Amino acid sequence: MVGNIPNLLTLTRILLLPVFAATIIYGEYQYSLILFIAASVTDVLDGLIARITKQITYFGTILDPVADKFFIVTTFVLMSIYGLLPKWITIVVISKEIIVITGTIIVYFVTNKLVIEPSFLGKCSSACQFFLIGLVLLLLNMENTVRVPNLLLIIVAVLTAVAGINYVNKGFKVANYDNSHEK
């Protein structure tokens, strides 16, 4: 069912995004932090409620990662535009997302199956990206400046790149497996 509570929470997260983006654009970082926390809570709750109540839907398995991608890409772009994050990390994050999305579309056309299975590395990458966003917002609210350790930026970038490579490898395996069984 599309209109179950987990899916509605995911839709809420998507609907919060324009308001969240506006708070960053207008430098209202206290509201940015509140909305980021609200979006994070809905992200945790939608998955938890779906598993506990056995309301996992095909729609939800597609919508949830899409909501995460929208949130991450929008936030990294805005934070790099306004000098809150270095542009190079945004390039790494967006490149990985474009490669994964393009790969998913290609695998769909090759196999006629839409396969969206998050990997452990992908989840770790997303968690680190969300942690970085949260840290930036927290620093802005506590110190009115952003001093993110370079080591953290490097860890996020490397983990993002490795997760991207892992997804490409999985995509090749899925496409090759499906093609070998069609003959």
pLDDT tens for 26-65 read 999 999 999 999 999 998 999 899 889 988 888 888 889 8
Q: Does residue 97 contact residue 161 with C-beta atoms inside 8 Å?
A: no
Q: Which domain holds residue 144?
A: 5-180
Q: Is the dihedral of CA 54, 58, 60, 64 positive or negative?
A: positive
User: Domain holding 164: CATH number?
Assistant: 1.20.120.1760
Output the pLDDT for position 182. 57
For residue 174, the Cα-to-chain-centroid distance in whole angstroms is: 22
Q: Give 141 or 60, the one with higher predicted confidence.
A: 141
Helix axes 87-111, 120-143, angle to 10 degrees: 150
Domain count, the chain: 1
* Average pLDDT of the residues in 171-175: 79
